[in-house]
């Protein structure tokens, strides 16, 4: 079992990283769609009056939703940076370096931006929240 996981990881880490990037783009796209629907539903509560909107917003102040917010940040960053990578490749820039672009731009830069946002969100939103 561990051996096969190691084999798959080795295979997809570099040789098929283009496929990994494609899957990540689709999954994060679907997650953002779910978020968008939730967002529209929350904003639509305004039509029911201030109390209904405040009640909806109060739900998002729970620690679970604060954690999900950090997950949302990761999803947005991955989708955006991977989208920039795909756009560059479609424009004919960096196609021969697509693996490097994925790991350096989408994952590397993405991890730095994520940590810069996630640490304050965690400290001030959950620990001291």
Partner 1 sequence: MQLNITVRLARYPHAPGRRFSEFRVGLEERMTVLDALFRVQREMDSSIGFRCSCRVGMCGTCAVLVNRVPRLACATRVAALKADVVTIEPLPRYPIVKDLAVSLAPFFEQWRRTLPAFRPKDPDSPVPARIPATSPFGRLAASKRDCITCGACYTACSITGTNTGYLGPAAINRAFLRLLDPRDAAGDDRLRVLDAEPSGVWRCHTQFNCAAVCPRGIDLTDSIGRIKRALLRPRRAFKE
Identify the three-state secondary structure at position 72.
helix
**Residue 103 interacts with partner 1 (CB under 8 A)?**
no
**Residue 42 interacts with partner 1 (CB under 8 A)?**
no
**Residue 13 interacts with partner 1 (CB under 8 A)?**
no
E strand or H helix that includes residue 34:
helix 17-44
Q: How many CB atoms lie within 10 A of CB 127?
A: 9
Nearer residue to partner 1 within complex by CB, 15 or 44: 15
Burial of 80 (0-12, 13-18, 19+ CB in 10 A): middle
Q: Which of 98, 103, 109, 122 binds partner 1 (CB under 8 A)?
A: 98
Residue ranges in contact with partner 1 by CB under 8 A:
7, 11, 15-19, 22, 86, 89-92, 95-96, 98-99
């Amino acid at each position: 079992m561990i051996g096969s996981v190691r084999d798959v990881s080795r295979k997809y880490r570099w040789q098929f990283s283009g496929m990994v990037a494609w899957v990540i783009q689709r999954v994060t796209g679907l997650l953002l769609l779910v978020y968008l629907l939730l967002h529209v539903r929350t904003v639509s509560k305004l039509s029911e009056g201030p109390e209904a909107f405040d009640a909806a917003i109060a739900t998002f102040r729970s620690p679970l939703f604060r954690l999900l917010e950090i997950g949302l940040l990761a999803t947005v960053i991955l989708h955006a940076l991977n989208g920039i990578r795909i756009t560059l490749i479609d424009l004919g820039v960096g196609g021969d370096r697509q693996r490097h672009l994925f790991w350096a731009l989408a994952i590397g830069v993405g991890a730095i931006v994520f940590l810069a946002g996630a640490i304050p969100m965690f400290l001030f939103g959950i620990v001291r929240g």
